[in-house]
Structure 1
Amino acid sequence: MSRPASDPNNIPEAKQSTTSSDSTRVPPLSSDYAPYPKLDPKDVAPPPENWTNVSMGSQSQPNQGPATFSGSAATTMPAESNPYVSPAPVRSSSVKTDKMGAVKEVLGKLGKKAAEDTKKAKEIAGNMWQHLKTGPSFADAAVGRIAQGTKVLAEGGYDKIFRTTFETAPEEQLLKTYACYLSTSAGPVMGVLYLSSQKLAFCSDNPLSYQVGAQTQWSYYKVAIPLHQLRAVNPSTSKANPAEKYIQIISVDNHEFWFMGFVHYDSAVKNLQRPLQPARSS
């Protein structure tokens, strides 16, 4: 496996564009490459017929389904080699919060939502429960979400974070953000999924560790896929537990990414599939 460079400040970001010839050619994969993720496909329900789907007859890697919700959250860099993935340097900042108080605050907010709209709030609360269960512990996941909210407020909103985290074009607009997990061979990675007018991107909330010689270094886990590189966006659910919902992202060169633990799952599916819909002439 190739390891990240010793100087995280010099680590390049994931490839943002390709030529038309590159779009149809599958890049060579390293010997330790493992497709996302590692669950028996029998445990995952296929996308419903009424969802947008793409035939995978020529796919070079088998569809192995997402990692389970109950798996431990990742704290180390996954071993996969992927042209859309890149580490990012860690900035010196931290947020400390009382865990019990943080959990009470999250549950209190859910209670207020339930009072406003029972049906919708029950769905959101159920998704939030699955989201928090995906983390290493309920309390840690709740603290992580509140810490992320604090970071967003402190840094001026998601749009500013997006533009400082990823390379963006001047005319590029951030459209949607979703708190979720990315399934990897090292475990689920908590972070935020960004949908802009030009790319689909993900960045972990916390840095992951990796070894450079005898030293342990830390980097954020980033994914950036240009919209013209998207091939399919497939919703899926666990047959064993329908409450566990996933979104499979497939690139034109057959790299797969599985996202899970969405708080607003239906909205995520709808908006992530929109770039794949054919443009309608007025």
Structure 2
Amino acid sequence: MQTSLLHNLVVGTPVISATYDQFQKPVNRYLPGPIPQCQCSTTTSKQMRLRTNISETVKRKLTLGARILRVGGMENVFKQFFSVREGERLLKASQCYLSTTSGPLAGFLFISTDKVTFCSERSMKVFTQKGHMLRIRYKVVIPLKKIKSVNQSKNAQKPTQKYIEIITEDNFDFWFMGVFKYQNTLKYLEQAVSQAV
């Protein structure tokens, strides 16, 4: 893949953060919308659609699990998708969604002794300037030393929907939601960032 193509792929959006002292009132940060969920109804057609969605989800998860086993576990998945320096260790891997301008993107959040990374569960199509189609995975790489803050948040209307926000030193803002084992993942993330300083 050409280097120029990689530089053209957007992996985050810079934001300008304001503090409480600047405005003398709390700052409302953008929270991504909730992860799409199935609506249940008593009508037969909607119940059948719900069953189909559940069976498709279970099928996808089983296929994903088989793929992970075939590669040899999450550590090998991490090494397959990201360059790993000698001595770097994977601390935690968790399924989650990354908030993007196109909506939530399912994938894996990896926390290592050097970086926080995200890789989409599925590959997506991108086109080169010459019109050639490539299939790539959406990836984010954030060196631990470049993380300015890690914040936890939740949806005010639905407190069970929790988010992890990572802000980098150059004011890129990343939102992770639907994080599997949220508290445990947050603990590993905070420890990794504090030890990297």
User: Is residue 2:124 matched to residue 1:208?
Assistant: yes
One of 193, 201, 217 as aligned partner of 2:134: 217
Alpha-carbon distance between aligned partners in 2 of 1:262 and 1:239, rounded to the nearest angstrom: 17
SS of structure 1 residue aligned to 2:122: coil
Structure 1: give runs of 5+ residues left out of the alignment. Answer: 1-8, 16-29, 37-54, 72-103, 105-136
User: Is residue 2:36 matched to residue 1:70?
Assistant: yes
Equivalent in the alignment of 2:79: 163
One of 211, 223, 236 as aligned partner of 2:153: 236
Equivalent in the alignment of 2:2: 10
Higher relative contact order (CA 8 A, sep 6+): 1
Equivalent in the alignment of 2:94: 178
Cα–Cα, structure 1 residues 144 and 264, in superposed 2: closer, same or farther, change >3 Å? same
One of 174, 179, 194 as aligned partner of 1:262: 179
Shift of 1:139: 4.0
Alpha-carbon distance between aligned partners in 2 of 1:201 and 1:56, rounded to the nearest angstrom: 26
Q: TM-score, normalised by structure 1?
A: 0.53
Shift of 1:138: 4.1
CA contact (8 A) 1:179 1:192 kept: yes
Cα–Cα, structure 1 residues 166 and 235, in superposed 2: closer, same or farther, change >3 Å? same
SS of structure 1 residue aligned to 2:103: coil
Tell me the matched-pair count.
172
Q: Which has the higher strand share?
A: 2
One of 12, 16, 19 as aligned partner of 1:57: 19
Shift of 1:66: 1.8
CA-to-aligned-CA distance 1:244-282 (integer Å, 9 cap, x gap): 111111111110110011220111111111133368xxx
Alpha-carbon distance between aligned partners in 2 of 1:208 and 1:198, rounded to the nearest angstrom: 27
Alpha-carbon distance between aligned partners in 2 of 1:269 and 1:162, rounded to the nearest angstrom: 19
Cα–Cα, structure 1 residues 218 and 153, in superposed 2: closer, same or farther, change >3 Å? same
Alpha-carbon distance between aligned partners in 2 of 1:192 and 1:184, rounded to the nearest angstrom: 14
CA contact (8 A) 2:95 2:108 kept: yes
One of 188, 194, 197 as aligned partner of 1:277: 194
CA-to-aligned-CA distance 1:30-86 (integer Å, 9 cap, x gap): 9xx8558xxxxxxxxxxxxxxxxxx8539xxx8322232128xxxxxxxxxxxxxxx
Cα–Cα, structure 1 residues 12 and 160, in superposed 2: closer, same or farther, change >3 Å? farther
Cα–Cα, structure 1 residues 169 and 14, in superposed 2: closer, same or farther, change >3 Å? farther
Look up the equivalent residue of 1:57 and give its one-letter code: T
Structure 2: give runs of 5+ residues left out of the alignment. Answer: 21-27, 38-50
One of 251, 274, 281 as aligned partner of 2:168: 251
Q: CA RMSD in A?
A: 3.3
Equivalent in the alignment of 2:113: 197
Equivalent in the alignment of 1:152: 68
% same residue: 31
Cα–Cα, structure 1 residues 34 and 168, in superposed 2: closer, same or farther, change >3 Å? closer
